[in-house]
Amino acid sequence: MKKEIHPDYQQVVFMDTNSGFSFLTGSTRTSNETIEWEDGNTYPLLKVEVSSDTHPFYTGRQKFSDRGGRAERFLKKYNMN
């Protein structure tokens, strides 16, 4: 393996913004935000909109509250409805 061409692999915390569910895993992604994890260490925090906790394929049901789709949010944002 060549030196200095691969991104740094580190422990990070992914947090689902819809449910608050968090999990610690390894990733090459980085973030300016940090969070203190259950083990007392501080890790970079990466926020995601969908995880296994809220995705309908894994849960078997729709958990998203009335956020609306992209089109509805766009129309609401620019008062076009």
HSE (side-chain half, CA atoms, 13 Å) at 69? 1
Is the predicted pLDDT of residue 71 greater than 70, yes or no?
A: yes
Report DSSP state, residue 19: T
Distance of CA 75 to the CA centre of its chain: 25
pLDDT for 46 equals 93
- The conformational region for residue 12 under phi > 0 = left, psi -120 to 50 = alpha, else beta, is beta
Q: What is the pLDDT of residues 28-48, one digit of tens each?
A: 999 999 999 999 999 999 998
* Four-point Cα dihedral 36, 39, 41, 42, nearest 10: -30
